[in-house]
Structures are given as C-alpha cells and as structure tokens.
Structure 1
Amino acid sequence: MRISGTEIDFEVGKNQTVLEAALAQGFEFPHDCTVGTCGSCRSKLLSGKVDAITPFGYTLSREELTAGYILSCQAVPQSDIEIAVDLEAAASHAETVSGRIVETRDLTHDIKLVSWEVERSVSYKAGQYMNVRWPGGPGPRSYSFSTEPGEGGRTRLSTFIRKVPGGAFTEALFKGELDDAAFEIEAPHGHFWLHDGDGPILLVGGGSGLSPLMSLLEDAVSRSVQRDAILLFGGREERDLYYLDEIAEIGRRWKGKFEFWPVLSQTEAPGRRFGMVTAEIPAAIAELGGVDGLQAYMCGPPVMIDAGVAALTSQGVPIDDIHYDKFTDASTGGN
C-alpha cells in the first residue's frame, strides 16, 4: 500500500484492513471509532481494489463513493493500492483529562450549552470534538467544541448537546443528575476544521450541529480570516433557532461579507426562509458568487449531510471541497 504524496508504503497482511496495517506499523493515521460509523478514516482510493467489511455506503454518500472514497477501517486490499488521506487529521494526539460540569444553560427546548472545567488545558482545532465518559455510562459520547480554541488551549470545554429521548447520557444530563459527577474527557478528535483558501465559505448546520460551526467561526474571526461567508441553519420552527446574538456578533466582527440565513422546515414565520435547509444551498452559492474557490462545511444529522452533499455536487462544488461532521446518536451506532 502506498500513501499518495508521501514516501510511505508498506505491506498489508491477509484479511487486514488498511487502518489496522497502518497502525500496526507505527504510522499515524486518522481514525476514531474503527467500526465504520464516524468517517474519520475516510480516504480516497486512487488505484487498486478493496473489499468492504461493512458497506462504505452506510457512512459515505453516493457522491463520495462515486469519487472513489473508502473507509480505511473497513477496507481490505485485494491488490496493491494507492490512497490519498489527510494525515494532518492524525497529527493531534488525544489525551484524557478529568473534569466536572460547571455550567448548563438551556438554549432551546431540547438543546443545552454544557461546560466542563478540566484539570489542565486541552488544545484542539476549531471544529474538532471530544469523547466524554461518565461514571456508570455504557460508553463514550462525542460532542464538538463550541468555542474557539484559544492560545495554549482551554481548561473550560463547552459544547451544545441535544436531548436524545431515552438516551443514557442526555436523559441524566437534562435531569441534572450528573452535575456532581466526575467525567473523563478525551480530546481532541476529528478532522473537521477550516481549510486554507481565498474563496467563499458556505456553512450548513442543523440542531446541535451549530456547535462546531460556532467554534470555526469564532476562530476565523480571531485570526482575521477575510473570506465571504453564509451560514445556513435549519430548524423545525422558531423555537429551534438559538445563539442569535452570538451569530450577530460574528457578523459584526467578520472581515468580508457575512450573512446568516435561518430556515424553518415546519412552520412559516415572517422574515424566515421556509423549507429544507439544504434546498437553500443553490441560492447561497449564487449569493457568494458561484462555486469558484468555494468550500462547504456541514454539521448535522446524516440525512441533512447526504442531502447537502448531493445539492453541493449538483451545483459543481468538487467533493474534495465539501467537509462535514455527521451527528449521530448511540441508537445509530455513532456518536
């Protein structure tokens, strides 16, 4: 196996996955869940053939599959292969810190802002996430940071958390049963962050998917990034819109054009767009001057991401310029 653009090549054993072989031979390779749900190990197959332990289409969109993307944790080579992968995504090493909740605040009827104070600073890139473990819990839950990283990292880690009916973690969290619990937090994880470029930025979010987008936007403002941007955010009704003052402040400080387009899917309201948030993608692209140099960043449920990828590619946005973080819950085998 060869990794394109590097000097890295090595043998992969019989019935061994690409990811297993890379890690066994000491190479840093982006990954997290290792079971084909998070998408962190997404790679592009440039030549050769692989078999999939679990179908790649469970996580990847049709457009990604057509473009040759695979999940390295599920890919077993059937020949010599060459892949392209963002090794920068594996460059930040996760560490585990202990912490306690110091703030919970209602943002909507089913989303809270939750902050932990941890024992030492955690460094991360805007857009990345943390894995959270709590006493007696069945396993970690993953939540994206909602604030820019700050210099030297942060000891106060914040995120937006949506209540999942029957969820082992969120039911206890929303009832206040974990306010005094000792948590273990592993971070940073993920390969979702703002990439270099001069073209416009289109951001699309839904529900608690606003969390990493706020982190990304706050960080871009702090670094004086000067690129035109539109933030599309979808909710069912007016009560699902939140953080409006903070978004307005981003707009005031943004270098370049910044527009916020909230979209309601179930109830119409004066001054709001109505329909599916991804249906507004063509209009947003036109407002940003077309697809030349455009990068798209999406966070939200799988159905929104898949619809967004389809809408963006149909407008001519290259699949390599589409970056996303699918928000799933434990019932779907994801985060």
Structure 2
Amino acid sequence: MKAISLGGRKSGRGGTLHVLGSDLAARIEAGETLLSAAVRGNIPFPHMCNVGECGTCKCRLVTGHIRLKRDISRHVTPEELSAGFVLACQSLAMSEDVAVEVPGMGRGRSTDPAPVQIDASVARVTPLAPGVLALEVDLAAEVRYVAGQVAQLTVPGAPGLGEPRCYSFAEAPARASPRRALFHVRHVPGGAFTDWLFAADRTGARLCFSGPHGGFRYHAADRPLLCVAGGTGLSPIKAILEQGIADGLACDVTLVVGARTQQDLYALDAITSLKERWRGRFAFVPVLSQEPEGSRWTGRKGHVTDYLCEVAAGHADRAAYVCGPPGMIDAVLDVLRGVIPPKHLHYDRFLDRGSAALGPSSAA
C-alpha cells in the first residue's frame, strides 16, 4: 500500500526506509526526506542537487506514505506519479515504514558501477578558457563509471567546503586512468568551492571523492545524434562521444555548443579530434550569444535555440543529448518537445548556487 500527498502534517515519529531488492535500510527521523535518510544511513542513493531540480533521485514508492515538499511535475509525469514515482529529495515520510524501488539498486536491476567514497587529491589544474579549468584528480583507489555520470567533491576540513559539489567526468572511461579523474570546472563568483579552486595553486590539496552518481549516459538507439552543450555542459557530452568512438558508433552527429564569445569556446582541439575519429558524419556548430559586433567571427550568433528552431524539423529522427544550465535546458526542450519523441530526449541540468540556493551545487 502506498500514499502520496501534497498536504498533511509531518510525521511525529521516525521510521525505516527500505530499498527493495536489497538488504539496505536506514532510519528516517521525523520531518526528514527519504534522500536525507538514505545519505545519512550510507545508502548509495543516486542524487545530485537535493532540491528537486535535477531529477536524479527519482524512485518508486511501493509501500508507505509520503508527503511531497513541492511540485515535481518537471521530472515526474502525472502517469508516473499515479504509479508511485517520486523524487526522494522532495519526499517526507509520513509512515513508520517506507519501501522504494531505486533504479540501479537491488538484485538484477543494473550493472552500473557502485558509488564509492574515497580520498583524493588535486593532481593538476589547467586553464581552458576564461573562468574554466580542467581539474585532474588523483584517486586513492580505482573508480569505474559510465560516460555522462558525475562525481561529488568536497574539501575536508576547509570552512564552507563540506557540502558536496557535483561535476561530470570530462573523459570517457575508455580514455581515463582508473585512478585519475578529469573534470571541467566553471568559476561561479561567490561559489565557495570554485572561489577556493581559482584563488591559488591547489596542486596536492586533499579532496574527498564520492561517485559515480547520476543517470545521464548514452542510450543505444538506431538514430543519429543531436548533442547540445552550454558552457561546461560540454564535459559529459565529450565523454559520451569519446566512449562512442571506443564502442565503434558510426551514426551521424551534430554537436551544437553555446558560448558567450569566441574566448569562451574551449576544448576545440578535443572536438577536432572527435570529428576526425568519428566513423559517421560529424558536424560541429558553435553558437555565440555575445560576440562583439565587428569581430572576425563568421559563425553563428545568437542562442542555440535560434539554430535549433531552424533545423528542428530536420532532426526529428535524432536522439538528443542536452547538457548545460537550467535555463538553456528548458529553452532547448521547449524547441525539441513535439519534434523528437520523449524517450529519445536525454538531458542533464548543471546547477550552481544561483539556481539551487537551497542545496548542494552541481557547478559551484
């Protein structure tokens, strides 16, 4: 039996959270979300933003009663809600016992690598563009992940840096050392982690690494690919395409990258390498929104949605992979919904302190 409500009072007593198909369980304190209880109880529950913006913690309520803290229709359709699907970060337990099914957890449900929490350190920091760094991290043990997934980083003992920040792996597992990870980090002014990282040479600094997390990845389909990236949203797209080369994919690809100016375009050598090694046709379309008038730029200007509006009808047969800030994601989905079937629309929102002020950041 299950019950989902947007009203009601908080439970006055605690209970137990059970993950079906496993022996995992955690104590739920009164007024606590399912996700908070899972994390506190060391259950490797998929999550990123903690505020209902990313949808990573979607699960299915099988037994028990919960109250939703907010509307979750951005990530859970009415049909899914009727079937019991909720976001764990927005679900307050209203009964003593709650049982959920979690994608990737439980017997026979997934072959994804299990998340680990290990010591790490900054191996190298390399500027990529104004306000963007490549962060290479040495890991205390080997880590397996799927291209498109994220890791969480914290700085032990540093004031204000104990909350995890999520960053996408910027390199395919096929190209990476199992004891080193690469991330692209954008400086978010006022973001505690990025202010710290950009302020000085942090080579050798201790970190805590948790991962992999997240469900963004390539989904096999007999379709050409439309990849749209804004800012450091390029990092998981790059990793997915690199993995595609390793796996021998030969479908056509259109990679659309949005940036403010030419200076903000980065990883151009890596994109050229992808284009040269890809087995099918590979089109790269950079779009600049704030390129000064009179510059020598001969490419497209405006926003990525301007380009997509022009070509959307011709991309109905594609599978789309979209990654970037929430505003860009929403605008792109508004263009592509009704053109590309929902099951072939895949996206990952990059949240920072400005867009997820109530919880840990995805890019700050």
Report the TM-score range of the alignment, normalised by the length of the smaller protein: 0.7 to 0.9
Match 1:108 to one of 122, 129, 142: 129
Q: Which moved more, 1:147-156 or 1:66-75?
A: 66-75
Note if 1:40 corresponds to 2:64.
no
Q: Is the 8 A contact 1:230 1:284 kept in 2?
A: no
Match 1:308 to one of 316, 319, 332: 332
Paired position in structure 2 for 1:194 = 218
For 1:299 and 1:245, the matched residues in 2 are separated by: 20
User: Following TM superposition, by how much is the alpha carbon of 1:30 offset from its aligned partner in structure 2, in angstroms?
Assistant: 4.1
| Amino acid corresponding to residue 102 of structure 1 in structure 2 | A
Normalising by structure 2, what TM-score? 0.74
| Amino acid corresponding to residue 129 of structure 2 in structure 1 | T
User: Following TM superposition, by how much is the alpha carbon of 1:187 offset from its aligned partner in structure 2, in angstroms?
Assistant: 1.2
Q: Is the 8 A contact 1:149 1:219 kept in 2?
A: yes
Q: Is the 8 A contact 1:28 1:91 kept in 2?
A: no
Q: Is the 8 A contact 2:112 2:145 kept in 1?
A: no
Instruction: Mark the runs of 5 or more structure 1 residues left unpaired by the alignment.
Output: none
Paired position in structure 1 for 2:10 = none
Q: Which moved more, 1:65-74 or 1:184-193?
A: 65-74
For 1:229 and 1:282, the matched residues in 2 are separated by: 18
Normalising by structure 1, what TM-score? 0.80
For 2:38 and 2:163, the matched residues in 1 are separated by: 26
RMSD: 3.7
For 1:327 and 1:102, the matched residues in 2 are separated by: 24
Note if 1:318 corresponds to 2:318.
no
Paired position in structure 2 for 1:276 = 303
Aligned residues: 317
Paired position in structure 2 for 1:56 = 72
Match 1:123 to one of 131, 137, 144: 144
Per-residue CA deviations over 1:189-209 (Å, capped at 9, x if unaligned) read 110000011101111111111
Say if 1:132 and 1:233 are closer, same or farther in 2 by CA, change over 3 A.
same
Say if 1:111 and 1:66 are closer, same or farther in 2 by CA, change over 3 A.
farther
User: Following TM superposition, by how much is the alpha carbon of 1:33 offset from its aligned partner in structure 2, in angstroms?
Assistant: 5.0
For 2:119 and 2:31, the matched residues in 1 are separated by: 38
User: Following TM superposition, by how much is the alpha carbon of 1:287 offset from its aligned partner in structure 2, in angstroms?
Assistant: 5.0
Secondary structure at 2:337 match in 1: helix
User: Following TM superposition, by how much is the alpha carbon of 1:322 offset from its aligned partner in structure 2, in angstroms?
Assistant: 1.3
Q: Is the 8 A contact 2:49 2:351 kept in 1?
A: no
Instruction: Mark the runs of 5 or more structure 2 residues left unpaired by the alignment.
Output: 3-19, 22-27, 95-99
Note if 1:74 corresponds to 2:90.
yes
Q: Is the 8 A contact 2:66 2:91 kept in 1?
A: yes
For 1:251 and 1:43, the matched residues in 2 are separated by: 37
Q: What aligned pairs does 1:124-143 form with structure 2 within 5 A after superposition?
A: 124-135=145-156, 136=158, 137-143=161-167
Say if 1:67 and 1:271 are closer, same or farther in 2 by CA, change over 3 A.
farther
| Amino acid corresponding to residue 38 of structure 1 in structure 2 | C
Q: Which moved more, 1:277-286 or 1:324-333?
A: 277-286
Secondary structure at 1:247 match in 2: helix
Q: What aligned pairs does 1:180-191 form with structure 2 within 5 A after superposition?
A: 180-191=204-215
For 1:242 and 1:323, the matched residues in 2 are separated by: 23
| Amino acid corresponding to residue 274 of structure 1 in structure 2 | K
Paired position in structure 2 for 1:218 = 242
Q: Which has the larger radius of gyration?
A: 2
User: Following TM superposition, by how much is the alpha carbon of 1:97 offset from its aligned partner in structure 2, in angstroms?
Assistant: 2.0
Note if 1:296 corresponds to 2:320.
yes
Say if 1:67 and 1:281 are closer, same or farther in 2 by CA, change over 3 A.
farther
Q: Is the 8 A contact 2:229 2:258 kept in 1?
A: yes
| Amino acid corresponding to residue 100 of structure 1 in structure 2 | S
Say if 1:86 and 1:203 are closer, same or farther in 2 by CA, change over 3 A.
farther
Secondary structure at 1:239 match in 2: helix
Q: What aligned pairs does 1:154-173 form with structure 2 within 5 A after superposition?
A: 154-173=178-197
User: Following TM superposition, by how much is the alpha carbon of 1:22 offset from its aligned partner in structure 2, in angstroms?
Assistant: 9.8
For 1:150 and 1:236, the matched residues in 2 are separated by: 31
For 1:314 and 1:99, the matched residues in 2 are separated by: 44
Note if 1:95 corresponds to 2:116.
yes
Q: Is the 8 A contact 1:67 1:319 kept in 2?
A: no
Secondary structure at 2:129 match in 1: coil
For 1:16 and 1:228, the matched residues in 2 are separated by: 47
For 1:123 and 1:261, the matched residues in 2 are separated by: 31
For 2:57 and 2:89, the matched residues in 1 are separated by: 7
For 2:110 and 2:298, the matched residues in 1 are separated by: 40
For 1:258 and 1:235, the matched residues in 2 are separated by: 20
Q: Is the 8 A contact 2:112 2:146 kept in 1?
A: no
| Amino acid corresponding to residue 71 of structure 1 in structure 2 | L
